[in-house]
Amino acid sequence: MFDRDLDCFADAGAERPALPVRSVRPDALDGALAALPPGQAAFARASGFAALPGQLMLLPGPDGLAGALLGLGDDRTPFAHGGLAAALPKGAVARLEPGDFDMDDAVLGFCLGAYHYDALLGAPRTTAKLSAPIGHEAARSAARATWLARDLINTPANHLGPAELADATRALGASFDAQGQVVDGERLAAEYPTVAAVGRGSARAPRVASFTWRGSAAGPDAPLVSLCGKGVCFDSGGYDLKPSAGMLRMKKDMGGAALMLGLARMVMQADLPVRLAVRIGCVENMVSGEAMRPLDVLRTRRGLSVEIGNTDAEGRLVLCDLLAEASDEHPALLLDAATLTGAARVALGPDLPALFAPHTPEGDAVAEAVLAAGRSCADPVWRLPLWPGYDGWLGSPVADLSNVSSKPMAGAITAALFLQRFVAPGTAWAHLDTYAWNDQTRPGRPEGGEALGLRALFSAVRTLNRVNKGA
């Protein structure tokens, strides 16, 4: 249902001939126009085509359209081609002519811009399609993983609850012959007590969905990559109820889970020589007579007791048991992702996920790999300090720690510090606090759910794996 084929490519032998699209930068504009038939060149000049970023000029021909010019400006990212699918006439088939750009990036950008969530519409939306050159499997994989994450985030909560998210996790693993399981009921309460506590207030029962996978070239001692995702399918805030404006987009509170599933898909599609373990906490944070209350004290898988200072700080409770289990398996790399704090958005805005990692050799190596990957593939993240001086703010008079800070500052940092309490020392671990949403449509980034950091994380996993293998 969610891991769907990309429908932005034209079928082989399509009846409609492909429309040649020439991507042009301003400093090459004169040469590009000189290569056109004189009438088309004159039309482009008269129409004011200047090769500005995203500027599209349709070129006339004797039988209608003969081609198009796309301005790139100085944009070297995939998003330079991100608006093409929507700007071209509906039903058109585009053929990208070689030019001063990376074709992999162009294919990826076209696919990201062609995305549409129309599962609940009476008639599907129609966009232009791409006559893709042969190959570019990495771009196709990144696009499909992004579509998967976006679909999961965009699906309304009444259509995607804990059971449906668990099913999606299990189905993704099964499509790559992974071994999966779903834990719920009494076993969930015993093995993941904080996940159970968060989901107790909902009529839709919580669960943990997981799977393990091994690459075709990965032996039993291959590096273990472990992924954990916050899958809160809807967050009312619990008894510390959110205001209506704050609750409006809370179908996206499982954006961390969606990101980790997209990342898992890319790892498996690339057949990386690793062992992969994926854990998704699938819950809904609601209000009822069964819901956790402020100042309740919960036990955790790690054995630490946690006082509930705020029931709306539930995401860290969903993750802490998953991180404890995952880190005790001694992974070569442990990553988690969550729409965890508004404080991260205040600090960095919607486009930059906040990255946290311990200030240790292992943690610094992971953080630097992710940061470098984000810069190289136009998928940036920003590291914030996991500052130990604030750790004491998580103190509680009746438990080992509180789930919220005693201070009204540095909320993203203290949330990450809470998670660190449950990660085994020495683990190469990084935590991503993401918004998982585009507030407005831009080229390649339609309004709605977004897999921020996905390509950066995948590139980092691949790089770190090469390091682990001594390559």
Q: Which of 337, 172, 153, 354 is nearest to 253 (CA)?
A: 153
Distance CA 349, CA 450 (A): 14
Told to judge if 242 belongs to the known catalytic residues of this protein, a careful annotator would answer: yes
Distance CA 251, CA 421 (A): 28
Q: How many CB atoms lie within 10 A of CB 38?
A: 9
Q: What is the DSSP string of 280-347?
A: EEEEEE--STTS--TT-EEE-TTS-EEE-S-TT--HHHHHHHHHHHHHTT--SEEEEEE---HHHHHH
Catalytic-labelled residue, pool 316, 345, 421, 445: 316
Told to judge if 140 belongs to the known catalytic residues of this protein, a careful annotator would answer: no
Catalytic-labelled residue, pool 95, 242, 383, 442: 242
Tokens of 431: 């935590």
User: Which residues of 129-223 form beta strands (DSSP E)?
Assistant: 129-130, 179-183, 207-214
Distance CA 126, CA 142 (A): 22
Tokens of 331: 């992974």
Helix (H) or strand (E) holding 411: helix 411-420
CA-to-CA dists, residue 89 to 69, 93, 96, 131, 153, angstroms = 14, 9, 15, 15, 28
Distance CA 405, CA 401 (A): 9
**Catalytic positions:** 242, 316
